[in-house]
Amino acid sequence: MNKYSFENRVAVVTGGAQGFGYAISKRIIESGGKVIIWDIDKSAIDKAKKEINSNNFHSQEVDIIDFKNIEKAINDIETKFGKIDIFVNNAGMTGMNAKVWEYPLDEWKKVIDLNLNATFYCCRAIVPHMIKNNYGRIINIASIAGKEGNPNASAYSTSKAGVIGLTKSLGKELADKNIAVNCVTPAAAKTRIFDQMTEEHINYMLSKIPRNRFAKVDELASLVCWLASEENSFSTAAVFDLSGGRATY
């Protein structure tokens, strides 16, 4: 396993207590970085803290669909640690599986709020701090669904397509600074997010992956850690595929 140096680096990972976020947080900590995970699941935070068992593990209960809550959390981190170098927008949900014309309006809003609006809120809040420090790495976790559009998952697909567009816009806006903004488009992985999907939809996603298996959380963590490292000094406003060969572009 390659190790990147995150000594003296401070990272925030949203949805960091489980799944992709947990794997990313663990990898950064193992490479010497400090991680503050944001999650609203207190029991999951406690479990992650016990398992990782490191002085570099920190947590905050943050509701990322509340912009003021985000701003307060960031200011608290800056007060305690002096800076935030890395921000990983990982928290998200799939929403229910249904046809567009049958999709409940409140469910649509819930998915868009968490997957897209919250990612925008976090980027909007953290960028001024990174500009001030003239350093930053922002990694947004999108999805192959944002490229290709999964049937019966219109809210999720739309929200992740929005994350891709946001990444490209913000990366270009910050290209003259030492701040890289990129996103990753993974295929599905067996995490708790599967609990939100029908068995039919899970089987559909697997059938689309040429490698004939789901992604592993550690595979995503590996790519994210490179994007979060100082070695990534040129790539920005880019989309990195992790779909096992599914992506057609």
Answer yes or no: is 66 within a domain: yes
Per-residue pLDDT tens over the stretch 22-79: 999 999 999 999 999 999 999 999 999 999 999 999 999 999 999 999 999 999 999 9
Q: Look up 103 and say whether it is catalytic.
A: no
Contact 148, 247 (CB under 8 A): yes
Answer yes or no: is 218 within a domain: yes
Answer yes or no: is 14 within a domain: yes
Answer yes or no: is 5 within a domain: no
Helix, coil or strand: residue 75:
helix
pLDDT at 199: 83
Answer yes or no: is 2 within a domain: no
Answer yes or no: is 4 within a domain: no
Answer yes or no: is 79 within a domain: yes
Answer yes or no: is 249 within a domain: no
- Which domain CATH number covers 217? 3.40.50.720
Strands 86-89 and 57-61: unpaired
Instruction: Look up the pTM and report it.
Output: 0.94
What is the total count of domains within the chain?
1
Per-residue pLDDT tens over the stretch 112-156: 999 999 999 999 999 999 999 999 999 999 999 999 999 999 999
pLDDT class of 92 with cuts at 50, 70, 90:
very high
Which residue in 103, 121, 156, 204 is the catalytic one? 156
Report CA-CA distances (Å) from 248 to 87, 135, 156, 204, 241. 28, 33, 19, 17, 10
- Domain of 207, in residue numbers: 10-242
